[in-house]
């Protein structure tokens, strides 16, 4: 039971970290960004590449991965996302999906399609309630809580954060003050992408690094964003952990149905609270 | 002069379409031709929702897959009659549409796309894991049918002509549907659903009908695919393949029968021949999709149409219009 | 002439909302735009502010052509647009609402707050309340006060007294009277009593045109006269 709980929280934490970017992009730009999955996948791959080729430790590789993603995210924002402002949602979906396709193929080209297994960087366990839990998983939970706290401070206390909160609500009013809202939204996009890469880095040792890992997690993250409320950062937090638990508990009873259960939940939420998108 | 030629062409377009496919066959091989035609049926089914009703589905492989599996399972467990199996496949598509419709059809935009995708994932799971003992799971299963009257589907020529006839029928059906009041309502819903409601129409019913027709035709296409391959695998219900039909709709031009056909053939040509020349053809596909979204929304057929229009009438004085900042 | 709008035409899609309309405002003037709903008054303000771009004609501010500029760039010249519908940032506090304006204008927060308090003294009592909880009148005054942060030169205000009770309207009037002389005001209003108390000049708008411009106090204060144009 405890290991199920821990797993649920771990996975939930990772979903949270990845989903923030998705929620922000949808909230600020009203764009459903499939390319988010690409940044996530790249985070994992750059981590693996750094570990294997640069001979540096996990921590340093992780930092490299998160930073390396910034220019890529900038390119995506500048050349694709920005052109989708105000467009119909369908085109945004198709365009960002196309970016994802291109990216995944590029990954296959560079690194091949064979999954790369990564080992747990902290191969230690700790005893909790009679069960041996990998410390790594607890670290992930801790990191996600720290990020939550960090984002609360960012959006609640810094001017930049407040501009984004205001912009999420009323973009025109922010512009009328003389603030270039788009620059701040672009920054929010980059922030979200870095977090996605971090999610990829953290999740990599738990799952196998493969070119399609983005697809697998993307839909769950959409579910998180939908269940949590589009553009609601706190909602994403709650929904991520809730769905993580759903996945974990389902997985305990009927393994393969874990993912599917998440979609069932999403479907139920959508029935009762369809989103205007 | 051009006008009357076009009207003449339109009247016999069914023949022209059939003729073109017959011409294509010796060039690309009969197997491929059959595949192309069946895919076009799928694109037509998809375009009904995307092009006419304006709803982008990201999980249409579900309905294709339902048809494919229903067809195969019918052959394996019910009867060796391929026609019965086809009927069951279409009915399955309709039933799924009927059950999921009330949930899905109320949504729009990203919601619509994603909820279709979610159901598709569930379908994939069911086919690959939950019902694996019956569906063969990841390995799939074969579909064997008996000969009925003159229809021996183990012969490719029989499949070819049958598929051609089916395609023509579907073209005719879709044309009738979209050319009628129903079609006008569909397009109205795409533009502004509230307005159509205010005119007194039950848009929910219209959407349901369109949805069920789309799922049924998709299931039909799925069944036909298996009729051709004689083997079903989970790739026929795999959501990742949704991009195929989306690309086809886009490149052909959404919202027109000809566009769907052009798009279907285009995509199939690309996916069949491009890998021989460019190894990273999927990257190319993605790049083309971006190009289409940003520059060539109307697709190939859309451009043909606007080129013809410009040829027929001199350019009107273009009206000035303001752009809203964002 | 601080603001000069010269024969602008503005379309929504293919519908023409403004047809070759001109108006102007000199520094320090209080100019009102009146007219029925749908006459194009909000469109006029939005075009000046940069949220819409004219298909023809120009908007000139202090000698610079600003038509076609992005709204944030227009704002940085010293033009503030106060939207209709009392749109405050509901999730932020009143203080934070002002903070954003101060940040944008490069002004220290306490100076900005002083400015707003000058115009609307009562605001000091609820600086830390969430703006979403404010009444309509409080929101409107917050918006007007916030717009004054950074000493703008032109304020475009869209229907400031809409939906407000008589007492609150008085407060708004007092605030606007305080601002007179410091800043040029172009205000869209339907409340003709307010118009007649403050206006230096009035433009009457009708269906995308300006059929009349009134500049004589006698004409302005005679409401019946105004009504003939609407």
State residue B213's pLDDT score. Answer: 95
- CA angle in degrees (0–180, nearest 5) for B103-B108-B112: 60
Q: Say whether pLDDT at A253 is over 70.
A: yes
Helix (H) or strand (E) holding C211: strand C209-214
The ipTM (two decimal places) reads 0.88
Mutate to test the interface with A, among C50, C94, C95, C103 (most CBs of A within 10 A): C103
Rounded alpha-carbon distances, angstroms, from residue B132 to A219, B138, B140? 23, 8, 9
Helix (H) or strand (E) holding C61: strand C56-61
Rounded alpha-carbon distances, angstroms, from residue B190 to A82, B184, B255, B260? 25, 10, 11, 18
pLDDT digits (tens, 9 = 90+) for B20-77: 888 888 888 888 889 999 999 999 999 999 988 888 998 999 999 999 999 999 888 8
Q: Which residue in the set B50, B118, B287 is minimally distant from A266, CB to CB?
A: B118
Residues in CB range of A140: below 8 A, 6 or more apart? A10, A13, A14, A202
Closest residue by Cα to residue C57 from C5, C16, C2, C14: C5
pLDDT digits (tens, 9 = 90+) for A88-111: 778 888 899 999 999 999 999 998
Mutate to test the interface with B, among C7, C10, C11 (most CBs of B within 10 A): C11
Q: Which of A124-138, B287-301, C153-167 has the lowest mean pLDDT?
A: A124-138
Q: What is the mean pLDDT of chain A?
A: 86
On chain A, the residues whose CB falls within 8 A of the CB of B103 are: 267, 270-271
Closest residue by Cα to residue B114 from A248, A40, A220: A220
And the tokens for A66?
Answer: 């998160």
CA of B326 vs chain C CAs: smallest distance (Å): 8
On chain C, the residues whose CB falls within 8 A of the CB of A180 are: 70, 72
Q: Which of A84-88, A195-199, A272-276 has the lowest mean pLDDT?
A: A272-276
CA of C100 vs chain A CAs: smallest distance (Å): 7
On chain B, the residues whose CB falls within 8 A of the CB of A80 are: 290
State residue C159's pLDDT score. Answer: 92
Chain-centroid distance of CA B211 in Å reads 12
Largest CA distance in chain A: 59
Q: What is the mean pLDDT of chain B?
A: 85
Q: Which residue in the set B321, B323, B324 is minimally distant from C14, CB to CB?
A: B321
On chain B, the residues whose CB falls within 8 A of the CB of C56 are: 320
Give the A:B interface size as CB pairs under 8 Å.
117
The dihedral formed by the CA atoms of C172, C174, C176 and C179, expressed in degrees to the nearest 10: -140
> What does the alpha-carbon distance between residue C101 and residue A177 come to, in Å, rounded to a whole number?
6
Q: Contact C108/A182 with Cβ under 8 angstroms? A: no
On chain A, the residues whose CB falls within 8 A of the CB of C76 are: 178
Q: Strand C64-65 relative to strand C56-61: parallel, antiparallel, unpaired?
A: antiparallel
Q: Contact B105/A274 with Cβ under 8 angstroms? A: no
- B125–chain A Cβ distance below 8 A for any pair: yes
> What does the alpha-carbon distance between residue A152 and residue B72 come to, in Å, rounded to a whole number?
54
Residues in CB range of A156: below 8 A, 6 or more apart? A162
On chain B, the residues whose CB falls within 8 A of the CB of C9 are: 320
Beta-bridged to residue C187, according to DSSP, are: C32, C157
> What does the alpha-carbon distance between residue B220 and residue B40 come to, in Å, rounded to a whole number?
12
| Record: contact B283-A222, CB cut-off 8 A | no
CA of B279 vs chain A CAs: smallest distance (Å): 9
Is C3-87+153-228 in CATH node 3.40.50.300? yes
State residue C225's pLDDT score. Answer: 61
On chain A, the residues whose CB falls within 8 A of the CB of B108 are: 276-277
Interface residues of chain C, partner chain A, Cβ below 8 Å = 49, 51, 70-72, 75-76, 80-83, 87-92, 96, 99-101, 103-105, 146, 150
- A177–chain C Cβ distance below 8 A for any pair: yes
| Record: contact A266-B287, CB cut-off 8 A | no
Give the DSSP letter of residue B319: P
Q: Which stretches of chain C score pLDDT less than 70?
A: 217-230
- B321–chain C Cβ distance below 8 A for any pair: yes
pLDDT digits (tens, 9 = 90+) for C153-194: 999 999 999 889 888 899 899 899 888 888 999 999 988 888
pLDDT digits (tens, 9 = 90+) for A221-240: 888 888 887 767 888 999 99
Residues in CB range of A216: below 8 A, 6 or more apart? A207, A259
Beta-bridged to residue B232, according to DSSP, are: B141
Measured on CA atoms in the order B48, B51, B55, B59, is the torsion positive or negative?
A: positive
> What does the alpha-carbon distance between residue B282 and residue B271 come to, in Å, rounded to a whole number?
9
- Phi/psi for C100 (5° steps) reads -65, -40
And the tokens for A31?
Answer: 């764009």
- CA angle in degrees (0–180, nearest 5) for A40-B121-B113: 75
Give the DSSP letter of residue A229: -
Q: Which residue in the set B54, B293, B326 is minimally distant from A86, CB to CB?
A: B326
Q: Contact C117/C123 with Cβ under 8 angstroms? A: yes
Rounded alpha-carbon distances, angstroms, from residue B135 to A223, A258, B80? 28, 20, 17
Mutate to test the interface with A, among B55, B104, B110 (most CBs of A within 10 A): B110
On chain C, the residues whose CB falls within 8 A of the CB of A233 are: none
């Amino acid at each position: 039971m405890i290991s199920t709980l821990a797993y649920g929280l771990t996975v939930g934490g990772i979903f949270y970290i990845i989903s923030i970017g998705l929620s922000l992009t949808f909230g600020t730009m009203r764009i459903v960004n499939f390319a988010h999955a690409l940044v996530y996948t790249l985070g994992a791959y750059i981590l693996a590449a750094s570990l294997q080729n640069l001979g540096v430790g996990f921590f340093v590789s992780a930092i490299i991965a998160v930073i390396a993603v910034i220019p890529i995210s900038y390119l995506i924002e500048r050349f694709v996302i920005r052109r989708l402002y105000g467009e119909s949602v369908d085109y945004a979906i198709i365009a960002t999906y196309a970016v994802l396709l291109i990216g995944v193929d590029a990954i296959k080209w560079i690194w091949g399609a064979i999954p790369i297994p990564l080992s747990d960087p902290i191969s230690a366990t700790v005893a909790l309630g009679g069960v041996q839990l990998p410390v790594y998983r607890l670290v992930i939970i801790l990191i996600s809580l720290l990020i939550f706290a960090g984002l609360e401070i960012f959006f609640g206390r810094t001017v930049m954060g407040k501009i984004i909160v205001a912009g999420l609500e009323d973009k025109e009013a922010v512009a009328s003050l003389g603030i270039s809202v788009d620059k701040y939204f672009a920054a929010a996009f980059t922030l979200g992408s870095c977090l996605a890469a971090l999610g990829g880095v953290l999740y990599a040792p738990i799952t196998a690094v493969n070119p399609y890992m983005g697809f697998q997690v993307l839909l769950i993250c959409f579910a998180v964003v939908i269940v949590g409320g589009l553009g609601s950062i706190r909602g994403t937090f709650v929904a991520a952990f809730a769905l993580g638990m759903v996945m974990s508990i389902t997985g305990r009873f009927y393994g393969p149905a874990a993912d599917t259960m998440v979609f069932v939940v999403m479907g139920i939420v959508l029935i009762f609270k369809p989103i205007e998108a | 002069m051009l006008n009357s030629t076009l009207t003449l062409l339109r009247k016999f377009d069914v023949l022209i379409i059939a003729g073109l496919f017959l011409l294509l066959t010796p060039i690309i091989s009969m197997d491929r031709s059959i595949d192309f035609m069946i895919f076009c049926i799928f694109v037509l089914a998809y375009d009904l929702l995307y092009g006419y009703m304006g709803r982008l589905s990201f999980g249409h492989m579900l309905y294709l897959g339902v048809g494919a599996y229903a067809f195969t399972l019918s052959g394996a467990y019910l009867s060796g009659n391929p026609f019965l199996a086809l009927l069951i496949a279409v009915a399955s598509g309709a039933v799924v549409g009927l059950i999921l419709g009330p949930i899905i059809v109320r949504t729009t935009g990203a919601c619509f796309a994603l909820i279709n995708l979610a159901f598709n994932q569930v379908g994939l799971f069911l086919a690959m894991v939950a019902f694996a003992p019956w569906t063969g799971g990841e390995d799939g299963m074969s579909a064997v049918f008996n000969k009925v009257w003159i229809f021996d589907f183990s012969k490719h020529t029989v499949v070819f002509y049958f598929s051609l006839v089916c395609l023509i029928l579907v073209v005719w059906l879709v044309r009738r549907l979209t050319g009628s009041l129903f079609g006008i309502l569909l397009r109205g819903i795409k533009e502004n659903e509230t307005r159509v409601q205010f005119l007194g129409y039950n848009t929910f019913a219209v959407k349901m009908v369109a949805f069920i027709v789309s799922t049924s035709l998709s299931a039909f296409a799925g069944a036909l695919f298996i009729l051709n391959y004689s083997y079903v695998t989970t790739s026929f219900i795999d959501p990742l393949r949704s991009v195929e039909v989306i690309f086809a709709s886009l490149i052909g031009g959404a919202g027109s029968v000809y566009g769907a056909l052009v798009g279907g053939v285009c995509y199939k040509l690309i996916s069949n021949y491009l890998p021989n020349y460019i190894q990273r053809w999927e990257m190319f596909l993605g790049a083309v999709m971006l190009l289409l979204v940003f520059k060539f929304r109307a697709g190939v057929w859309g451009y043909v149409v606007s080129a013809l229009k410009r040829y027929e009438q001199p350019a009107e004085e273009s009206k000035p219009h303001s752009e809203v900042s964002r | 002439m601080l603001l000069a709008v010269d024969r602008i035409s503005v379309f929504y899609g293919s519908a023409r909302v403004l047809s070759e309309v001109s108006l102007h405002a000199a520094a320090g003037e209080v100019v009102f735009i009146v007219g029925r709903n749908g006459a194009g008054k909000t469109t006029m303000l939005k075009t000046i502010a940069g949220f819409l771009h004219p298909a023809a004609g120009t908007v000139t501010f202090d000698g610079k052509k600003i038509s076609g500029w992005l709204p944030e760039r227009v704002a940085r010249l010293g033009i503030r647009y106060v939207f209709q519908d009392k749109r405050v940032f509901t999730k932020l506090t009143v203080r934070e609402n002002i903070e954003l304006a101060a940040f944008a204008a490069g002004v220290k927060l306490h100076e900005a707050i002083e400015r707003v308090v000058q115009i609307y003294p009562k605001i000091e009592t609820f600086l830390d309340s969430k703006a979403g909880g404010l009444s309509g009148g409080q929101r409107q005054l917050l918006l007007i006060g916030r717009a004054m942060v950074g000493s703008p030169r032109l304020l475009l205000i869209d229907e400031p007294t809409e939906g407000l009770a008589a007492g609150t309207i008085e407060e708004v009037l007092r605030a606007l009277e305080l601002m007179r002389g410091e800043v040029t005001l172009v205000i869209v209003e339907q409340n003709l009593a307010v118009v007649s108390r403050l206006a230096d000049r009035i433009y009457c708008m009708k269906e995308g045109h300006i059929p009349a411009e009134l500049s004589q106090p006698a004409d302005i204060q005679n409401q019946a006269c105004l009504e003939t144009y609407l």
